Amino acid sequence: MSSTRARTALITGGSRGIGLAIARGLLREGVRVALVARGVEELATRKSELGGDTVVVAGDVTDAKEIDRVVAAVGAAFGGMPDILVNNAGIFIPKALDVLTSEEYERMITINLIAPFFLLRAILPTWKAQGNGQLITIGSVADRTIYPDNGGYSASKFGLRAMHEALRAETKGSGVRTTLVSPGAVDTPIWDTVVLPKENRFPTRDKMLTSDAVADAVVWAALRPANVNIDELRITAT
């Protein structure tokens, strides 16, 4: 295992897809993980699958008061704030702006951009006081490239990249590290419910990145020595 100080990680959206793959990858490297998601039964299943030492906390990451409860529960289980926060939870609704409803737009901004801030804000003061901690943000190719039918999603991911870059500037030299991992299309359960536009630009699922490919990048970044910061990783399928 690579030399690393970090030994605990909180992963949002950890019960499936990329979040679950990241959890498995970190566990293989000896990092304790806490999975946060809304589904109580699914979390219980994941805890059984991953091992009894895995922490699971059900909660709504879009509710600031819920975040305080979730972070407190994870901190109590770990005996302190997690060393790594993986802001992974997100939704994707590919629609043109004149078709996207106000509720859908607000939901994407809330889950993809505001919730990650809530999590970071709950943990960052402790990290700064301790002089260590690592945020890993799951972005997207859409956090710097514009596509049609992507106005709401890109707005949320561009904002998430801006938050990442601001945090990097604000914490440089403090011991707090921040990494943005921006993949292209990934084959996850999110596609089971996505209604694609008529002019579908997306690759078929067998041509997309796998969750494990993204998780490998996250684990590699997380396990760098404490004096190494991986600013950004962009991942695409061949």
Q: CA-based Rg of the chain, rounded to a whole angstrom?
A: 17
Nearest partner of 113 among 65, 147, 72, 164, judged by Cα: 164
Maximal CA-CA distance, the chain: 51
Q: Are 11 and 33 in contact (CB under 8 A)?
A: yes
Range list of H helices, the chain: 17-28, 40-50, 64-78, 102-109, 115-130, 151-171, 211-222
Are 26 and 9 spatial neighbours (Cβ–Cβ below 8 Å)?
yes
> Active site includes 105?
no
Residue of 78, 105, 118, 153 marked catalytic: 153
Indicate which residues carry an active-site annotation.
153
